[in-house]
Amino acid sequence: MSENPLQLLFQSFGKVSECVQTHLSRFIVPSSSSPSLTKNQNPLVSLHSQPAADSHLLQPEVIKNGKSSSPTTKEELGRATWTFLHTLAAQYPDKPTRQQKKDVKELMAILSRMYPCKECADHFKEVLRANPVQVGSHDEFSQWLCYVHNVVNRSLGKLVFPCERVDARWGKLECEQRACDLQGISNGFGQ
Ligand SMILES: Cc1cc2nc3c(=O)[nH]c(=O)nc-3n(C[C@H](O)[C@H](O)[C@H](O)COP(=O)(O)OP(=O)(O)OC[C@H]3O[C@@H](n4cnc5c(N)ncnc54)[C@H](O)[C@@H]3O)c2cc1C
């Protein structure tokens, strides 16, 4: 008896799909060091596969069900951002140029618009409105930053930080052989 044409079509589609999967699987290597993956679960892309020709490229995170396996939390983002800002303040010069003052003001304004947590950005906008950024010197900026960080701390029910200890808590970026200096100049701000 002759076969149903639809059945033939499905069979062909099945073969093509199998073929594509086989070819794709050559490019997708299961991660040996990924404890959350069982034998039969192949990640879409492996982070830890053996070095390939393009191993100098940054490999993407392991993706499961189309989602990143480790989303960033609001707290992690906050800690990383405060670290960035307090380190920036630690390196801010005693006598900033006009451009440096302008840059810091703009950075804060941009942060209040583009910070990836909208609730935080909106709150920070209000904090900035009530406490305009002070950029006249290293001391001014680092004390201002400490103060506004404490405003955020208070709003979250956290302890406030003693701002007289801010220079002890936050130092300049440690960098061997002054490799982090801008244009080889000592304070990291091009001065
Ligand atoms: C601009 C901005 C706005 C934010 N707004 C919100 C918000 O509206 N809602 C929300 O849920 N989260 C917000 N966050 C995140 C929040 O501030 C914290 O980062 C997060 O809750 C993690 O807190 P943490 O206790 O680990 O310490 P963090 O507050 O992240 O502080 C990191 C470290 O900085 C030191 N530190 C603490 N206070 C000061 C200070 N005043 N001066 C100097 N150093 C200090 C401490 O050693 C502390 O361990 C915001 C973050 C930023 C950068």
Digit-coded pLDDT (tens) for 6-63: 455 445 445 544 544 544 444 344 443 344 433 344 444 334 444 455 556 666 555 5
Percent of the chain with pLDDT over 70: 58
- Rounded distance, CA 184 to CA 109, Å? 29
Give mean pLDDT, residues 132-156: 98
Q: Which residue has the tokens 């303040």?
A: 89
- Rounded distance, CA 5 to CA 45, Å? 37
pLDDT at 55: 58
pLDDT at 88: 96
pLDDT at 37: 39
104 Cβ closer than 6 Å to some ligand 1 atom = no
Residue 132 CB coordination number (10 Å): 10
Answer yes or no: is pLDDT of 188 > 70: no
Note the maximum CA span of the chain. 92
Higher-confidence residue of 73 and 53: namely 73
Q: How confident is the model at residue 87 (pLDDT cuts 50, 70, 90)?
A: very high
ipTM given for this complex: 0.99
Which ligand 1 atom is the nearest neighbour of the CA of 115? Answer: 1
Model-level pTM? 0.72
Q: How confident is the model at residue 175 (pLDDT cuts 50, 70, 90)?
A: confident
Residues ≥6 apart with Cβ < 8 Å to 154? 160
Q: What is the distance, to the nearest Å, from the Cα of residue 154 to the centroid of all Cα atoms in its chain?
A: 25
Give mean pLDDT, residues 103-118: 98
Which ligand 1 atom is the nearest neighbour of the CA of 149? Answer: 41
Sign of CA dihedral 114, 115, 118, 124: negative
pLDDT at 110: 98
- Rounded distance, CA 19 to CA 13, Å? 10
State in Å: Cα 99 to ligand 1 middle.
Answer: 27
Residue whose CA is closest, atom 26 of ligand 1?
79
- Rounded distance, CA 52 to CA 37, Å? 22
Residue whose CA is closest, atom 27 of ligand 1?
79
Give mean pLDDT, residues 64-73: 74
User: For residue 32, which phi and psi values (nearest 5 degrees)?
Assistant: -75, -25
Q: At what angle do helices 138-155 and 74-91 cross, to 10 degrees?
A: 160
